[in-house]
Amino acid sequence: MKTTIVCSIKKNSNRPLCMDAFLGVCLLGAALLVFSGCGPKASKPVEPPPPAGISTLLVVAFQDMAAIYGQNAQVRSPISGNLFFTGPVLPDSPALLTVWLETALEEKGFKVLSSALAEEAKAHALADGDASMDELALALGMGRAAEADAVVVGHVFRFAERVGNPYSAESPASVAFGIHLVRVADGRVIWSARFDEAQKPLADNLLKIGDFVKHKGTWVTAAQLARTGLMQKLATFPAP
């Protein structure tokens, strides 16, 4: 059976209505293609990192680097040498980061020796070694004293709270920290993570749309920003 399409003519126009409809569909399709091409693509699942032959970790409490070097200073990480700019560090933030780190590593299946034990191990390491040893050598000495497979060392350079409320911030939260995993057997740094961010409006960074949705489009606190960053970085931490 033949199907005949009849096109009526618009008043005061030489173009059939079916042509207008066809053009409209084409324009709508083009717009959808452009939008979908610019939108965020589905991220690939993070593959589990390979095991590193370690099971017992000594966690050293995060060290406040701004308390040592002052604010607005350019400071190198004592382990990696990466540059950071220091800023305000909330008083409880190093302890908060340490607790989050210990909990997350326990959930990954590691036996975690707490930061409290790390202080005892530090005293033993200093007694047995040179008081002027660098931080990497000190971490190794602490790991040996505690009979750990590896030592996790953290430094916080900035932990500045937002100024404002969740929907209107004069100044956003800003956080910077570094974490390093040092294997005691050979002294190698087998994993490092760097987080250095201040929250920006979505219009300034479309690549952060996942974080924007996660926080429901609000201006987050420094603790929220830090915890999100820490969990993202630990996704690549070696398996036990």
Question: pLDDT tens, position by position, for the chain (240 residues)?
Answer: 444 433 333 344 444 434 433 433 343 343 333 333 444 444 455 555 666 689 999 999 999 999 999 999 999 999 999 999 999 999 999 999 999 999 999 999 999 998 788 888 888 888 877 667 899 999 999 999 999 999 999 999 999 988 655 555 567 889 999 999 999 999 999 999 999 998 765 444 444 445 544 544 577 899 999 999 999 999 999 998
pTM of the full predicted structure? 0.72
Contacts 24+ apart (CB under 8 A), 128-135: 134/78, 135/78, 135/79
Number of separate domains in the chain: 1
Residue 179: domain span: 56-234
- Pseudo-torsion of CA 113, 151, 111, 44, nearest 10°? 140
Q: Under a CB-based contact definition with an 8 Å cutoff, are residues 161 and 225 in contact?
A: no
* Inside any domain, residue 240: no
Q: Does some domain include residue 97?
A: yes
Q: Under a CB-based contact definition with an 8 Å cutoff, are residues 58 and 150 in contact? A: yes
- Residues 99/42, Cβ–Cβ less than 8 Å: no
Cβ neighbours around 106 below 10 Å, total: 13
Rounded Cα distance, 10 and 26, in Å: 20
Q: State how far the Cα of 176 lies from the Cα of 86, in Å rounded to an integer.
A: 8
175 located within any domain? yes
CATH number, domain with residue 196: 3.40.50.10610
Whether 183 is in a domain gets the answer yes
197 within some domain: yes
